[in-house]
Amino acid sequence: MFGVENNPTEPSLKSYSAGSADLSQRIRSAKILIVDDVPIMCRLIGTALTKVGFENITFAFDGKEALLAVEQARPDLIILDLNMPKMNGYEVCRHLRSLKNTRDLPILVQSAAETAEERAKVFEAGGTDFVSKPINEPEMIARVRLHLENRFLIQNLSHFYDRMQGELSIAHDMQRDLMPSDNVIWGIQQKYGIQIESFYRASSELSGDLWGVWPIDNERLGLYTLDIVGHGVGAAMNTFRVHEIMNRHTHLRGDPAAFLSALNQELTEVFPTGQYGTMFYGVIDFSEQKITYVGAASPKPFIIGHDRRTDIRTIDTSGIPVGITNWPDYENQDVDFHPSEVLFCYSDALIETENISGEILSETGLRGLIADNHEKFVDDELLPTLLGEFYRQVPRILEDDLTAICVHFLDSKTIEDWDEVSTTEAETFQILALVHENSNVEKITSLNDDQIHFILAKNNDETGGHLLKAEQIFHMVLMETPLTLQTVRDWIGYIRSQSTLRGIPIVVINNPTWAVSDEKLLSMGADYILSPNVSQSRLKQLIVSVSSRYDQIVQIKRKVEWRRAGQIHVKEGMFNFSSRREAQALAAILSVTCSDPLLASIGLMELMVNAVEHGCLSIGRVRKAELVECGDLSTEMHVRSSMSIYRDMQATIQFVRRSGYVEFTITDPGEGFDYLQELEMYKENHTEKSGRGIFMATRIFSSLKYDGKGNKLIATMDIASQG
């Protein structure tokens, strides 16, 4: 490239203001690729740009060179000639627009085109703008600056948007964590002999919805719903503030009026003018068969009687919202609540969101929706039908969070039918961590909280073995990196040899010094492999997910043992199922004739739940991973199962006893999936949610074979000894 003296009358980048010094510097150092098969044209354009301060210019002399230069240098802008050998400018544009990384790359086309048709052809090929030919330097420089400025501003906005979305996602997760977990709900159901349905779906914005439930004593249960006025970060932050204040007044939970008064007193001091919350708080007394409550302008809860069509009563929640005045004069009120009745609480999004006709449901409309659909309610489930009908009428993303809770006061017969085997899910997950004497135990023990409790055992003593032999239930075994590979192999072998520990998940943090692949560790008997630099948050997320799943396995084990006492002798049969609950029940029943009923039931449940998710509800691999990551899978299944297009979808399992083994054939109504790809993806990344069930089933059953497009599988296992 030849040099040219700067003309003081020419505008330079130093005098150009793009709104900030940082942006000006980015434009000055931007990578510009000039593509022309005439070298002198490349030099003329390059010199013109250099004179005004551009510092990073490269050249290509035909289309193929241009594509190679784009791949290697990743330019910020291209100046492209159309008529070139080997590959012309149109072809270059089309190729670059077909690639994800260059889809938005500014391409300024050198053209003498004057007709609209010629210009349209350039734009159709993917050109961004024109520079005239022969070159008009001031015009070219202005266009280069304009498109670089636009590119960098859009990149800045995109990065800002991505960061904000990430932060909002974290805030959504934190807000969701304030609500009762499945474990807490399960424990409360067992304690009081009730059934709780809950639904929460976040809107596109942060908002102030919150609900909670807590035991007061052996006969009384507290339940609240809260909606902080407004949307955005302010409303969400106020939910954290309210949650913290409520935790300071646990001694008042048995008296709704005193509890809300104390909460209100503090909120009026911290809420700015215009901020307040609507709230319902009730204490359900199951022995007295009543609800003592206080309302603070929240949507009116319903009590739905045994006759779901006509026996529908509202609870008066007219009262002053919390956070407005120091003297709200809250008073306790009582309402009868009898066995077989349902307390239904909800947020205002349910009655105030406009449907496709521009009308809101309203409280009267909600009452009508309950009455009109009473025949569709299944035993202790109202929400799938109600919310399915709601989303059918409002088929779009809501502008406000939607919360709905049903508390079913079960009568004694319902309780007996509902849970033939008494089970109690753990409120705290016990994790046995097998560590080296030089392990960084603080990294592990720092995760201890109300949900996770670590018990440490070092490799140079026998504590771990004694603990595993004891009556204490562990939900997971974690092996830390400083352990030797032989120690890990020995521990896995020991655990897998103990019938009482069958199915307990083993998580191994791979040590690079072992020089073994994740697949090798899996073949030894590990269930999950993590890298040594796994983050604390990711480790905790995996622990909760894996432990929760194993806790379900413990419940299945109890049901299997109960079923086995009256072992069935059916030779063959076919059963339909369409939900997780039905899959779990069938798995417990059909597994008892296998040589290892517990493992068979676990494997069947994994495969049958896959059939429900993928086949009956059309939840694909990518969507499922997203839902699992944000904790919304159960909610999504809840909603889809009540929608008309999925409501009648059913999978089948065929059970046939053959000579020496039993054969299970599972078929679902879905479009199928690439099961081999799912399996390979899980082998490559063992924290993947997809493919885990298939991988586990391949290790449980004697044989596992998919037919056709993946929506039919055949699994076999040896028959149990009858002696």
Which residue is associated with the tokens 């609800």?
A: 291
Distance in angstroms (rounded) separating the CA atoms of residues 668 and 544: 30
Which residue is associated with the tokens 């609500």?
A: 179
In contact, 407 and 383? CB cutoff 8 Å: no
Q: What is the pLDDT of residue 517?
A: 80
Q: What is the pLDDT of residue 296?
A: 95
User: Does residue 610 or residue 473 have the better pLDDT?
Assistant: 610
Mean pLDDT of 120-131: 89
Q: What is the pLDDT of residue 11?
A: 45
Q: What is the pLDDT of residue 204?
A: 56
> Given a cut of 60, is residue 360 above it in pLDDT?
yes
In contact, 31 and 75? CB cutoff 8 Å: yes
Minimum mean pLDDT among 130-134, 237-241, 360-364, 690-694: which range?
Answer: 690-694
Q: What is the pLDDT of residue 15?
A: 41
> Given a cut of 50, is residue 79 above it in pLDDT?
yes
Q: What is the pLDDT of residue 424?
A: 42
Q: If you average pLDDT over every residue of the chain, what do you get?
A: 80
Mean pLDDT of 503-513: 83
User: Does residue 215 or residue 425 have the better pLDDT?
Assistant: 215
User: Does residue 210 or residue 172 have the better pLDDT?
Assistant: 210
> Given a cut of 80, is residue 112 above it in pLDDT?
no
Q: Half-sphere exposure (CA, 13 Å, Cβ side) for 639?
A: 17
- 598 DSSP assignment: H
Distance in angstroms (rounded) separating the CA atoms of residues 1 and 18: 28
Mean pLDDT of 634-647: 76
Residue 221 φ/ψ, nearest 5 degrees: -130, 135
Assign 14 a pLDDT band (cuts: 50, 70, 90): very low
Q: What is the pLDDT of residue 606?
A: 84
Beta-carbon contacts of residue 263 (< 8 Å; ≥ 6 apart): 242, 245, 246, 249, 322
pLDDT winner (highest mean) among 55-59, 118-122, 307-311, 669-673? 55-59
Assign 60 a pLDDT band (cuts: 50, 70, 90): very high
Q: Which of 168, 186, 181, 276 is nearest to 226 (CA)?
A: 276
Assign 231 a pLDDT band (cuts: 50, 70, 90): low
Assign 489 a pLDDT band (cuts: 50, 70, 90): confident
pLDDT tens track for 461-476: 555 666 666 555 688 8
Mean pLDDT of 655-671: 88
What does 602-669 look like in DSSP terms, one character per residue? Answer: HHHHHHHHHIIIIIIS---HHHHHHHHHHT-HHHHHHHHHTSHHHHT--EEEEEEEETTEEEEEEE-S
Mean pLDDT of 558-566: 49
Assign 47 a pLDDT band (cuts: 50, 70, 90): very high
Assign 573 a pLDDT band (cuts: 50, 70, 90): confident
> Given a cut of 60, is residue 689 above it in pLDDT?
no
> Given a cut of 50, is residue 40 above it in pLDDT?
yes
Q: Is 165 exposed, middle or buried (0-12, 13-18, 19+ CB in 10 A)?
A: exposed
> Given a cut of 50, is residue 675 above it in pLDDT?
yes
Assign 568 a pLDDT band (cuts: 50, 70, 90): very low
User: Does residue 193 or residue 421 have the better pLDDT?
Assistant: 193
pLDDT tens track for 432-454: 888 776 666 677 777 887 778 88
Distance in angstroms (rounded) separating the CA atoms of residues 631 and 612: 18
pLDDT winner (highest mean) among 278-292, 308-322, 499-513, 602-616? 278-292
**Is this model's pTM higher than 0.75 or not?**
no
> Given a cut of 60, is residue 427 above it in pLDDT?
no
Q: What is the pLDDT of residue 421?
A: 37
Q: What is the pLDDT of residue 716?
A: 92
Distance in angstroms (rounded) separating the CA atoms of residues 121 and 201: 47
pLDDT tens track for 254-280: 999 999 999 999 999 888 888 899 999
Q: What is the pLDDT of residue 450?
A: 72
Mean pLDDT of 5-27: 54
Q: What is the pLDDT of residue 692?
A: 66
pLDDT winner (highest mean) among 41-50, 203-212, 538-547, 710-719? 41-50
> Given a cut of 60, is residue 518 above it in pLDDT?
yes
Strand order from edge to edge, sheet including 302-304: 194-201, 402-409, 342-346, 302-304, 312-314
User: Does residue 58 or residue 411 have the better pLDDT?
Assistant: 58
Q: What is the pLDDT of residue 331?
A: 95
User: Does residue 338 or residue 307 have the better pLDDT?
Assistant: 338
pLDDT tens track for 378-392: 655 788 888 888 888
Q: What is the pLDDT of residue 571?
A: 66
What does 367-414 look like in DSSP terms, one character per residue? Answer: HHHHHHTGGG-BTTB-HHHHHHHHHHHS-S--SS-EEEEEEEE--HHH
Assign 422 a pLDDT band (cuts: 50, 70, 90): very low
> Given a cut of 50, is residue 417 above it in pLDDT?
no
In contact, 296 and 317? CB cutoff 8 Å: yes
Distances (CA, A) of 623 to 20, 620, 631, 676, 690: 41, 5, 12, 18, 10
Q: What is the pLDDT of residue 302?
A: 96
